Amino acid sequence: MRSRKYRTRIGIQPSVFGIACMLGLLSLWASVASAMEPSTEQRVYSVSIDDKAAGTYDLTISTLDDGETRISAKADVKMTFYKIYNYKYVFSGREKWLNGQLQTLQSSSEDDGKKFQVAADFREDEKWITINDRRQVADPVTWTTTFWHLPADEKLENVFLLLDADTGEVMKAKADPPRLDTIELAGKSRSCFHVKITEPRVIQLWFDGKRRLVRQLSTEDGHPTELRLRSLRKLEADVTSDTKPAGE
């Protein structure tokens, strides 16, 4: 998630060999998970601005047996500053991915009174993005600012294209290589992939062993802003069961 103003959308050092092994094991675990039967999970994130609760970000991720992944994202953020200024951000979006490539995106957002309707289709030879009814030709993108998953490492090695899911803007981006990190979720230490986007602006992201988002951290107009996974529910065959937040 990324709003335009606040863009809410973050011990002992192991050896290099140990990090490589752990990253390899996490990647292998993710590959095995991707080959599993179709499944759906719902992730709810708490949003905070200046260390104060500001709203929620909800993700529903459905994986189909043909390899397609469907994403539904919703955000609702409200914050009052200095008791006189009320900030509001809402977002609703859907994405379809196939074999690690974005196929389609539809979204609507309102950020502090500014409204956007975005649609994108990357399936045909002529790929396009429509922003508030204005269509333009576009190149395939590597990532979107829903940041629901971590792309393959090789896709982030050089400059890549990042699609702003709120506004439809396509930006050139750079990121540091993923590294192993440990963070606390639900009162427990979890091993995660940690990625730092350095351009067009700094955003820190953490992902679990399934390469799915668990935390996002950035500074927006001087305000520390964080998304942190609060709950995860896996849905299979119409049966809901609770699972551990970091995919363990």
Which of 9, 8, 25 shows the shortest CA–CA distance to 211? 25
CA angle, corner 161, sides to 100 and 31, nearest 5? Answer: 20
Task: Extract the tokens encoding 202.
Answer: 């700094």
pLDDT in tens, 47-59: 999 999 999 999 9
User: pLDDT confidence of 84, banded at 50, 70, 90?
Assistant: confident
pLDDT in tens, 4-34: 443 444 232 333 333 344 444 444 444 444 4
pLDDT in tens, 168-206: 999 999 999 999 999 998 788 999 999 999 999 999 999
pLDDT on residue 1: 61
pLDDT in tens, 223-242: 899 999 999 998 763 333 33
pLDDT on residue 166: 96
Phi-psi region of 200 (alpha: psi -120 to 50; beta: other; left: phi over 0): alpha
**Alpha helix ranges (H) inside the chain:** 16-34
Residue 209 has pLDDT above 90, yes or no: yes
pLDDT on residue 119: 98
* Biggest distance spanned by C-alpha atoms of the chain: 53
155 CB neighbour count, 10 Å cutoff: 14
